[in-house]
A = this chain, B = another copy of it.
């Protein structure tokens, strides 16, 4: 399992519209093959910066299968208009820690 971290900067004044766009896109992303969850956070220090985190079975489920799907086009149509620049995308794996 990997977590996609998409760091997205949005246009001034677009916070509400962007957050609503992500909320509308949740069922679309969740239907994608190999998708196991999506979350959204907003930076305290940079209020126009968000991170969308999506759990995938593998990097290829995201970059190969999802990116080529109709779901990705729908996602971009819902949230892309609010982007300020191109999001940066990285994938991470959990490192187990004692709790």
Contact = CB atoms under 8 A, between A and B. Distances in A.
Interface string A1-17: 01101000000000000
Contacts of A41: 3, 92-95
| Count of identical protomers in the assembly | 2
A51 interface: yes
Nearest to A30: B99
A90 to B, nearest CB: 6
Main secondary structure of the interface of A (DSSP, over half): strand
A26 interface: yes
A47 B29 CA distance: 27
A43 B92 contact: yes
A28 to B, nearest CB: 12
Interface string A55-92: 00001000000000000000000000000000000111
